[in-house]
Amino acid sequence: MPYQVNVVKTEEIANGTMAVHLSRPRGFKFAAGQNIDLIFPDLINIDPEGESRIFSIASAPHEEKLTLAARIRNSPFKSRFARLKPGESVIIDGPYGEFGWDEDISSPAVFIAGGIGITPILSMLRQAVHEEKSPSVTLFYANRTLADAAYFKELKYLSLESENYRFIPTLTRKNGPNGWHGETGHIDIPMLRKYVPDLHRPYYYLVGSTPMVWGTVKLLDEHISRDRIRVEDFTGF
């Protein structure tokens, strides 16, 4: 169902990455991990890929606003997204998608996120904290540099607040203002085993670009059953 909503706030949340906070329609319900379509009718005859794109919702279901985030690229849609201003009206449709917690939230979970793929995972973690649930979570979060890591401070803070949540950031291009003492390189089986000795126990939630997600699925297929893997891939636009 389409809704007309207003832009409440925009902010830069990482290098070249922008978040847009939207007013939430009355009665709009969604589950943590779901997504919506963002629609710009004025792009119908401008963007060859159309006037709408799918965005995972970064905010949690209990929050008053809907938050969307994107890497800004040189495309008509992303340029339009980057120009949004408070008070402007946009159209959304949804929610859609089945990515989210398994029914048994008590099962250990391993989240593997690349770049802006962190958004549905952030929604899930925020909601778990709000509901005072304590699932055992290990989050692996890959970015090129620290400046590219959206929501890094919040994710690190959450890990300090909960003994059941471990945050394992890794940089594929080693960089940091005061040096970097965390993991480096792409997420692979040796890195996973370092923090998750028994790879067979958790459920795995993978979010990021299509090559990153399905490349990781291929690695996991050699060690665990596919029915323990949940996937949400971002095609980019």
pLDDT of residue 180: 83
Residue 189 counted as domain residue: yes
Does position 176 have pLDDT exceeding 70, yes or no? no
Are 139 and 42 contained in the same domain? no
Q: Are residues 77 and 150 in the same domain?
A: no
Residue 104 lies inside a defined structural domain of this protein: no
For residue 151, give the nearest of 138, 164, 166, 169 by alpha carbon: 169
Please check whether residues 132 and 48 belong to one and the same domain. no
Q: Considering the domain boundaries, does residue 132 fall inside one?
A: yes
Cα–Cα dist 30/56, whole Å: 11
Report pLDDT for 129.
87
Hey, which of 66-75, 104-113, 153-162 has the most confident mean pLDDT? 66-75
> In this model, does residue 236 exceed pLDDT 80?
no
Same domain for 197 and 133: yes
Task: Write the DSSP string, the chain.
Answer: -EEEEEEEEEEEEETTEEEEEEPPPTT----TT-EEEEE-GGGTTT-TT-SEEEEE--S-TTSSSEEEEEE--SSHHHHHHHT--TT-EEEEEEEE---S--S-TTS-EEEEEEGGGHHHHHHHHHHHHHTT----EEEEEEESSGGG-TTHHHHHHHHHH-TTEEEEEEESS---BTB--SEES---HHHHHHH-S-TTSSEEEEEEEHHHHHHHHHHHHTTS-GGGEEEEEE---
Final residue of a domain: which of 52, 73, 96?
Answer: 96
- 8-59 per-position pLDDT tens digit: 999 999 999 999 999 999 999 999 999 999 999 988 777 777 789 999 999 9
Residue 103 lies in a domain: no
Output the pLDDT for position 35: 96
Q: Is the pLDDT of residue 167 over 80?
A: yes
Q: Does any domain span residue 13?
A: yes
| Residue 159 near residue 131 (C-beta atoms within 8 A) | no
Q: What is the mean pLDDT of residues 134-147?
A: 92
pLDDT in tens, 186-228: 999 999 999 998 999 999 999 999 999 999 999 999 999 999 9
**Domain co-membership, 142 together with 216:** yes
Residues 21 and 82 in one domain: yes
- pLDDT band, very low/low/confident/very high, at 116 (cuts 50, 70, 90): very high
- Token digits of residue 180: 């970097």
Q: What is the pLDDT of residue 237?
A: 46
Domain-ending residue, one of 61, 96, 131: 96
Q: CA–CA separation, 36 vs 96, rounded Å?
A: 6
Q: How far apart are the C-alpha atoms of 43 and 80, rounded to whole Å?
A: 9
* Of 149, 94, 147, 161, residue with least CA distance to 119: 149
Q: Are residues 63 and 121 in the same domain?
A: no
Give 82-109 pLDDT, tens digit per residue: 999 999 999 999 999 999 887 666 779 9
Pair 193, 221 in one domain:
yes
Are 59 and 83 within one domain? Answer: yes
- CATH assignment at residue 78: 2.40.30.10
Domain boundary among 96, 127, 152: 96
Give residue 66's domain range.
2-96
Say what the alpha-carbon torsion angle 184, 73, 31, 214 is, to the nearest 10 degrees: -50
153, 54: one domain: no
Q: What is the pLDDT of residues 226-235, one digit of tens each?
A: 999 999 887 6
Q: What pTM value is reported for the model?
A: 0.92
Q: Cα(159)–Cα(120) distance, rounded to whole angstroms?
A: 17
Do 160 and 200 lie in one domain? The reply is yes
Give the chain's domain count.
Answer: 2
CATH code for the domain in which residue 219 is found: 3.40.50.80
Q: Within this chain, do residues 115 and 172 fall inside the same structural domain, yes or no?
A: yes
Find the mean pLDDT for residues 63-90: 94
Weakest-pLDDT range from 7-21, 50-64, 65-79, 173-187? 173-187
